[in-house]
Amino acid sequence: MKQFFLSATILVVVTIFAVSVNAIEKNEHPVPINDKSCATCHEKGSTDELQASSDAYTQWDTSLHKLNGVSCITCHGEESTFKPKSTISTCASCHSIEVDSMKTAETCASCHQVHTFRPLKGFKSPHD
């Protein structure tokens, strides 16, 4: 019985992972957005039945990106243009000086926290 639960759990985890990977590969949002604002599900304390992780939203909520009107859709697109991870060329549309000055083939997220955008500790700036 115990083994059954373990197998079932692994199966569920693998299935969820597979769905997740599949979703990423298709560049689809895991669930239909249906014109809801991102905050509906991603904001901390959301009461929507499809609650999602609020970590990214919470980090973004204190960022300079939020202050300057760079919201979820700016980097992740909307339902028809959704991309789970923003590309470096998206960053370059505003930060081309920084991207142009990168000496290594890192992505912005290699050194900057993904949603607060603060530099991670211990990284030496790759910018000129």
Distance of alpha carbon 106 from alpha carbon 104, whole angstroms: 5
- Judged by CB under 8 A, the residue of 103, 121, 122, 124 near other proteins is 103
Q: Is 102 in the site for other proteins (CB under 8 A)?
A: yes
Q: Which is nearer to other proteins, 56 or 99 (CB)?
A: 99
Q: Which tokens belong to 71?
A: 């919201």
- Judged by CB under 8 A, the residue of 7, 8, 18, 100 near other proteins is 100
Which of 126, 122, 119 has its CA nearest to residue 99?
A: 126
Question: How does 63-98 read in b/e, with b if 16+ C-beta sit within 10 Å?
Answer: eebbeeeeebeebbbeeeebeeebeeebbeeebeeb
Distance of alpha carbon 122 from alpha carbon 125, whole angstroms: 9
Please state the closest distance from residue 15 (CB atom) to other proteins, in A: 19
Q: Is 47 in the site for other proteins (CB under 8 A)?
A: no
Please state the closest distance from residue 77 (CB atom) to other proteins, in A: 6
Which of 104, 121, 113 has its CA nearest to residue 65?
A: 113
Q: Is 70 in the site for other proteins (CB under 8 A)?
A: yes
Q: Is 25 in the site for other proteins (CB under 8 A)?
A: yes
- Listed ranges 5-13, 54-62, 82-90, 113-121: which one lies at the site for other proteins (CB under 8 A): 82-90
User: Where does this chain bind other proteins (CB under 8 A)?
Assistant: 24-27, 33, 35, 37, 64, 67-71, 73-75, 77-90, 92-97, 99-100, 102-105
